[in-house]
Amino acid sequence: YAETDSEYVKAKGTLVVGITVFQPMDYKNEAGEWLGFDADLAKAFAESLGVKAEFQEIEWNNKILELNGRNIDCVWNGMTLTSEVLASMACSKAYCNNAQVVIVPANVAEKFQSVESVKGLNFAVEHGSAGMEVAQANGFKTTNVQDQATALMEVASGTADAAIIDSLMAAAMVGKGTGYENLTYTVALNSEEYGVGFRKDSDLADKLNAFFDAKYNDGSIQKLAETYKIQAALIKQ
């Protein structure tokens, strides 16, 4: 391999970005093109390196395999910086705030507005996710599923009482005008941050940090955040 990760990426001319479908960070428009807050930023970052961004959907369970096996170059997909993530990847600074929120059917939402009130519920959480960690920390009963979308479906199908997912995702996927109109989100169980993951020892994490600083200073990140209505969650760089 090339000396550093950035040389490796430049040599092949593409930055392969590992993603899953996650509104509003990464998703496809009706023409089939990738867009979203993360997707747009990744395109810009790749451009700054002089390479092309290539988006690759992955099985979220396999993200570390994908990264270490060099099938992708980074995981940039609203990834919460959990202790496990920090331990196994070289991560950028946090760029976005997030919270783990409780999803329940809208018709019973009133009963579940506090951490205390949701204690007895049966939760669906994504296996290995920040949501799972929070649930365990609170001593909740959980069922671990493959991804957050499945966790939502578990609540919709009644196979779980509630789910814990990212607040950003919740904002985009549940409630009026979404596919899950009968669900809503209530309590936030923690606050946490999103970051971008690279291979361990990669120099790209630092390069991305510098890129974030520059873009924050010229105000373009803020504008992008407004486009996707997540300006409230943005972290100052």
Partner 1 sequence: MELIIKQMPVVINALNAGFVQTLKLFSITLLGAFPLGLLIAFGSISKITPISVITRLFIWIIRGTPLMIQLLIVYYFPGLVLHNPIWGGGESGRFTAAAIAFVVNYACYFSEIYRGGILSVPVGQQEAGLVLGMTKRQIFFHVTLLQMIKRIVPPISNEIITLVKDTALARIIALQEIIWAGQAFMKGSHGISGAIWPLFFTAFYYLIFNGIVTLALTKLEDKMNYFR
- Smallest distance, partner 1 to C-beta of residue 182, A: 10
CA nearest 193: which of 97, 129, 91, 89? 97
| Conformation bin of residue 85: beta by default, left when phi > 0, alpha when psi is -120 to 50 | alpha
Backbone angles phi, psi at 20, to 5 degrees: -125, 170
Angstrom distance (rounded) from CA 192 to CA 198: 19
- Smallest distance, partner 1 to C-beta of residue 89, A: 8
143, amino acid identity = T
- Smallest distance, partner 1 to C-beta of residue 175, A: 11
Helix (H, G, I), strand (E, B) or coil at 231: helix
- Smallest distance, partner 1 to C-beta of residue 197, A: 11
Task: Summarize as ranges the residues that interact with partner 1 (CB under 8 A).
Answer: 1, 16, 18, 20-23, 27-30, 32, 54, 56-59, 61-62, 64-66, 68-73, 82, 84, 87-88, 122, 124, 127-128, 143-147, 149-150, 152-154, 156-161, 172-174, 178-180
- Output 160 or 225, the one with its CB closest to partner 1: 160
- The strand pair at 192-198 and 90-91 is best described as antiparallel
- Smallest distance, partner 1 to C-beta of residue 180, A: 4
Q: Provide the 10 A C-beta neighbour count for residue 56.
A: 12
- Output 8 or 216, the one with its CB closest to partner 1: 8
